[in-house]
Structure 1
Amino acid sequence: MTTASTPRGDIRDASADPFRERSGCRRALSRQILGARFRFESASEALLQQVEAAYGGLPPHRLPTAVPEFRVELRLSPPRLSPGGGEPPPVQTQAGAGWICGVMDASNYVMLAPAQQRALVVASADMLERPYHLRYELIEFAVFTLATRGQGLVPLHGACVGRRGRGVLLLGASGSGKSTLALLALLQGLDFLAEDAVFVQPHAMLATGVANYLHVQADALRFVDAAGARRWIGEAPVIRRRSGMEKFEADLRRGPGRLAAAPLELVGAVLVSARPAANATALLSAVRAADVAARLSADQPYASGQPGWPCFAQRMMAMGVHELRRGKHPRDGVAALRELLGDG
């Protein structure tokens, strides 16, 4: 029998166990993520190492609700016969009969049963050579979906930074500069919550996230003055997004700055724009209250269809939403965020 420490992990004789119900000796790994307790089980040490790379060393956020426990089983399947040299196929999603499925191909897929708080992640051995896709499109698919459905969170595509327990959402289209703004906010002393995905408990308006990696393009380095911070980013691995864009993947747990130790209480949202400001001293402008709902829905098409959206949108309209135009330097945008946070 193959041991759990080998790359083959839990690959077993299909004729003796056609449905893979006897996966052999498993090891469990528990982590506090997005306010919930996740128990990862696998006979593959290599897959558990990917879990640790994604979620080890994160601040253990707690939300003001009972802490649910989700169980995620990870299985390593045989290498694909012809994996090819390019990126794997994109994940296709389906739902029905109480299940949510994300299928990359016949050897790489995710099956979730939100009502039972459980998920199965299956990955082929060759996917271990593509850790970015394995983490973000398979493991993260399971974690984010279970946490969102199981706790009634509103999942947002955006970033969040804060100070003294208060936070501001950074929303806007891809390429608007959210990641660069979040990076400069981190380097200038604001607490960093998340860069790409933020999850909000709508009744308390508490935001949580996974502050593991920061993804920035090479041109963002020109805004970083500190030699240590430039080295931290410049020596990070480079990942290639599905769009073809290449970015540094810098580990926030090994870099400068502070990660938000607890969920942040939101005080507002900023729609980050790539358009330059007409007045360099007035980058922020309030979005008209009558336009807030439409602007938020257009920016967050998936989140706007979730059960918690009406409460979130109503609370956000009361708080206020601003548009942030681009200044001469991202640090000018950080100064505007400090104003919203009352951290002058």
Structure 2
Amino acid sequence: MTWPQDPRRVADPFGERAPLALRRSVDVLGARVEFLSDSAALMALAEAAYRDLPAEGSPQVQLQVELRMAAGDAAFDGEPPRPQMLGGAGVVGAAVDAHNHVLVMPALRRALVQLSPALLAHGYHARYELIEFAVFQLAARSQGLVALHAGAVSAGGSGALLMGVSGAGKSTLALHAALQGLEVVTEDGSFVDPTGLALSGVANFLHLRFDALGWIGDPALRARVLASPVIRRRSGVQKYELDLRGGWARLASRPVRLAHLVFTSAELRADGALLEPLPRDTLLARLHEDQAYAMGQPGWARFVHACGDLPGWVLHRGSHPQAGAAALRRLLMG
């Protein structure tokens, strides 16, 4: 009889008992998320996303995300492949290849992220498309939140969703809103309780096109943006990844009440009011059109019903992003 060279591998063929000595906990999206990992490099990616966020108070649920380094590896020829979504039997996830994937189990309040050294060389994709994906999916599905592709700003506990097509200037608008004293709730991932319309997000980064520098007059802020890492979106567009943390911008520290639905427009309106009210029927139609992904979520019908009495607006582009930010400020602060 011939025995395997490494009997330990037979005892643990899936590698599931490999020790995870590193532990970090963060409070995010109403949950306490505990990260466990066997790799300092993987833990550093999680910390880059979630360190130094404003304290939210008492978390409602406890979640756990395992970050494991893949045993095998295969180099990428250029940019890593786009993750492919998967799901079934109470599990959702995404897979780049055999070495890089994420599995989210909302009923167990746990997720597994496996990354290879090759994907670690593409830190933005590894963090944004797998680690942040795991946290967002786990937090939203375990708490029944509706996930929206929208930014959000707030003042005095009231928030405004910022929706619109990519390239409409939502991130630049959020930056200038922050410069005018509004709180940043999130850049492009908003989460709403469909019953009470509590709005939350993660205010860690703003991704700014290079031409956004032309709208920044403050030398210190220009220097901060220029010193930021440059990331490359799947579309090929390169952007500065500006870290909102560190005390220079106001960040929402707890969920706010959703009070306004704002659709950004690329149409220039240099004179006159930038905010145009939307009739209810038009508002709901725009909401369905803009949030095609969210429409398939369990809480969508309740969310839309709850939004029925909210005011909706089109925010036209002004001669300077400051004008749009000022319009948002007046909307939220009166």
How far has the Cα of 1:311 moved from its partner? 2.2
> How big is the shift at 1:254?
3.0
Identity %: 47
Show CA shifts across 1:110-140 (max 9, x none).
Answer: 1111111111100001222211011111101
Q: Match of 1:254, SS?
A: coil
Equivalent residues of 1:78, 1:125 under 8 A apart: no
Contact 1:61 1:208 (8 Å CA) reproduced: no
The CA distance in 1 between the partners of 2:211 and 2:119, in whole Å, is: 30
1:298 aligned to 289, 301, 306, which one? 289
Q: Give the partner amino acid of 1:81.
A: A
- Per-residue CA deviation, residues 69-127 of structure 1 (Å, 9 max, x unaligned), is 1111110014523322x111111111111211211100000111111111110000122
**Aligned residue number for residue 77 of structure 1:** 70
Corresponding residue of 1:183: 175
**1:37-86 deviations in Å (ceiling 9; x for gaps):** 111111111111111111011113358xx7111111110014523322x1
Is 1:100 the counterpart of 2:95? The answer is no
Tell me if 1:160 matches 2:152: yes
Aligned to 1:6: none
Task: Give the match's secondary structure for 1:170.
Answer: strand
Q: Gaps (5+ residues) in structure 1?
A: 1-12
The amino acid of 1:68's aligned partner reads V
Q: Which amino acid aligns with 2:302?
A: C
Q: Match for 2:28: what amino acid? A: I
**Are 1:67 and 2:57 counterparts?**
no
| Partner in structure 1 of residue 37 of structure 2 | 42
Please, which of 202, 205, 224 is the counterpart of residue 210 of structure 1?
202
State the match for 2:242 in structure 1: 250
Q: Which amino acid aligns with 1:156?
A: L
Q: Distance in 1 between matches of 2:121 and 2:298?
A: 37
The one-letter amino acid paired with 1:24 is P
Which residue is 2:3 aligned to?
Answer: none
Q: Is the 8 A contact 2:180 2:326 kept in 1?
A: no
- Once residues 189 and 82 of structure 1 are traced to their aligned partners in structure 2, the CA distance between those partners, rounded to angstroms, is 45
On the 8 A contact 1:101/1:109 being kept in 2, the answer is: yes
Residue 238 of structure 2 is aligned to residue 238 of structure 1: no
2:82 is aligned with 1:90: yes
1:215–1:250 Cα contact (<8 Å) kept: yes
Return the letter of the residue paired with 1:338.
R
Q: Where does the alignment leave 5 or more consecutive residues of structure 2 unmatched? A: 1-7
| TM-score normalised by length of structure 1 | 0.91
Shift of 1:281: 2.1
Q: CA deviation at 1:322?
A: 0.3
Pair 1:125-2:117 in alignment: yes
Higher mean C-alpha deviation, range 102-111 or range 20-29 = 20-29
Q: Distance in 1 between matches of 2:238 and 2:209?
A: 7
Read off the aligned partner of 1:58 and give its amino acid letter. L
User: Do the aligned partners of 1:35 and 1:60 also contact (CA within 8 Å) in 2?
Assistant: no
Distance 2:42 2:101 in 1: 14
Asked if 1 retains the 8 angstrom alpha-carbon contact of 2:87 and 2:93, the reply is: yes
Equivalence for 2:260? 268
